[in-house]
Structure 1
Amino acid sequence: MLLPDLPVLLARRAHLPDEGTTVFRVAHTTETAGQFAVDLVGDAAVLSLYVDVTAEEEGQLVDAVGHLPGVAGAYLKRRPVEARHAANVAREWLSPPDPVWGEARPEVTALEGGVPFLLRPGADLSIGLFPDARPLRAWVREHAPVGGRVLNTFAYTCGFGLNASLGGAEGVKNVDLSRKVLAWGQQNYALSGLAAPNTDFLYGDVFEWLRRLTRRGDTFDLVILDPPSFARGKSGMWRAERDYAGLVALAARVVEPGGQLLAVTNHAGVSPRSFEGMGGTGLDQAGRRGAVTQRLGAGEDYPGAAHLKALVWALD
Structure 2
Amino acid sequence: MIQLLTPTYWEDYELIDCGNFEKLERFGNIILIRPEPQAVWDKALSEAEWQKLHHIKFRGRSATAGDWLKKSPKTPDRWHIEYKNKDVAIKFRLGLTSFKHVGIFPEQAVNWDYISDNIRKFKTPSPKVLNLFAYTGGASLIAKAAGADTTHVDSIKQVVTWANENQEISGLKDIRWMVEDALKFVKREVKRGKTYNGIILDPPAYGNGPNGEKWKLEDNINEMIQDVIKLLDPEEHFLILNTYSLGFSSVIIENLIRNAFPQVQNLEIGELYLQATAGPKLPLGVFGKFFKNKGA
Is 1:310 matched up with 2:296?
A: no
Q: CA deviation at 1:298?
A: 2.4
**Conserved? CA contact 1:186–1:196, under 8 Å:** no
Percent of aligned positions that are identical: 18
**Conserved? CA contact 1:132–1:299, under 8 Å:** yes
Cα shift readout 1:267-297 (whole Å, capped 9, x = no counterpart): 132111122112223336xxxx323533354
Which residue number corresponds to residue 14 of structure 2? 24
- TM alignment of 1:56-75, pairs within 5 A: 61=47, 64-65=49-50, 67-68=52-53, 73-75=55-57
Structure with the higher fraction of residues in strand conformation: 2
Q: 1:276 to 1:47 in 2, by over 3 A?
A: same
Which residue number corresponds to residue 224 of structure 2? 247
SS of residue paired to 2:275: coil
Q: In structure 2, what residue type is equivalent to 1:141?
A: S
- TM alignment of 1:156-195, pairs within 5 A: 156-169=135-148, 171-195=149-173
**Conserved? CA contact 2:226–2:260, under 8 Å:** yes
Q: State the alpha-carbon separation in 1 of the partners of residues 70 and 160 from structure 2.
A: 26
**Conserved? CA contact 1:210–1:250, under 8 Å:** yes
Which of residues 127, 137, 148 in structure 1 aligns to 2:102?
127
Q: 1:304 to 1:182 in 2, by over 3 A?
A: same
SS of residue paired to 2:133: coil
Q: State the alpha-carbon separation in 1 of the partners of residues 12 and 143 from structure 2.
A: 20
Q: State the alpha-carbon separation in 1 of the partners of residues 134 and 166 from structure 2.
A: 12
Cα shift readout 1:2-48 (whole Å, capped 9, x = no counterpart): xxxxxxxxxxxxx97xx5531232113xxx2x431111112222212
Which of residues 139, 142, 150 in structure 1 aligns to 2:114?
139
**Conserved? CA contact 2:128–2:150, under 8 Å:** yes
SS of residue paired to 2:234: strand
Q: In structure 2, what residue type is equivalent to 1:291?
A: Q
**Conserved? CA contact 1:48–1:78, under 8 Å:** no
SS of residue paired to 1:291: coil
- TM alignment of 1:9-48, pairs within 5 A: 19-28=9-18, 32=19, 34-48=20-34
Is 1:226 matched up with 2:196?
A: no
**Conserved? CA contact 1:231–1:237, under 8 Å:** yes
Cα shift readout 1:113-172 (whole Å, capped 9, x = no counterpart): 353211113553211001122211122122224620100010100100100111221x10
Q: State the alpha-carbon separation in 1 of the partners of residues 11 and 60 from structure 2.
A: 25
Structure with the higher fraction of residues in helix conformation: 1
Q: CA deviation at 1:232?
A: 3.9
Tell me, which stretches of 5 or more residues in structure 1 are unaligned? 1-14, 52-59
Superposition TM-score, scaled by structure 1 size: 0.74
Q: State the alpha-carbon separation in 1 of the partners of residues 185 and 194 from structure 2.
A: 11
Q: State the alpha-carbon separation in 2 of the partners of residues 104 and 305 from structure 1.
A: 27
Q: In structure 1, what residue type is equivalent to 2:152?
A: N
Which of residues 177, 180, 183 in structure 2 aligns to 1:201?
177
**Conserved? CA contact 1:151–1:223, under 8 Å:** yes
Q: State the alpha-carbon separation in 1 of the partners of residues 191 and 220 from structure 2.
A: 22
Superposition TM-score, scaled by structure 2 size: 0.79
Cα shift readout 1:187-228 (whole Å, capped 9, x = no counterpart): 11112211146xx00111011110111111111000111100
Q: CA deviation at 1:97?
A: 4.4
Is 1:212 matched up with 2:188?
A: yes
**Conserved? CA contact 1:106–1:123, under 8 Å:** no
SS of residue paired to 1:277: helix
- Which structure is richer in relative contact order (CA contacts within 8 A, separation 6 or more)? 2
Which residue number corresponds to residue 233 of structure 2? 256
Q: How many residues align?
A: 266
Q: State the alpha-carbon separation in 2 of the partners of residues 35 and 75 from structure 1.
A: 13
Q: State the alpha-carbon separation in 2 of the partners of residues 180 and 154 from structure 1.
A: 13
Q: CA deviation at 1:184?
A: 0.8
Which residue number corresponds to residue 133 of structure 2? 154
Q: In structure 2, what residue type is equivalent to 1:74?
A: I
Q: CA deviation at 1:301?
A: 2.1
Q: In structure 1, what residue type is equivalent to 2:189?
A: L
**Which segment is superposed worse, 304-313 or 268-277?**
304-313
Q: 1:304 to 1:41 in 2, by over 3 A?
A: closer
SS of residue paired to 2:57: strand
SS of residue paired to 2:136: coil
Tell me, which stretches of 5 or more residues in structure 2 are unaligned? 1-6, 38-45
Q: CA deviation at 1:307?
A: 4.1
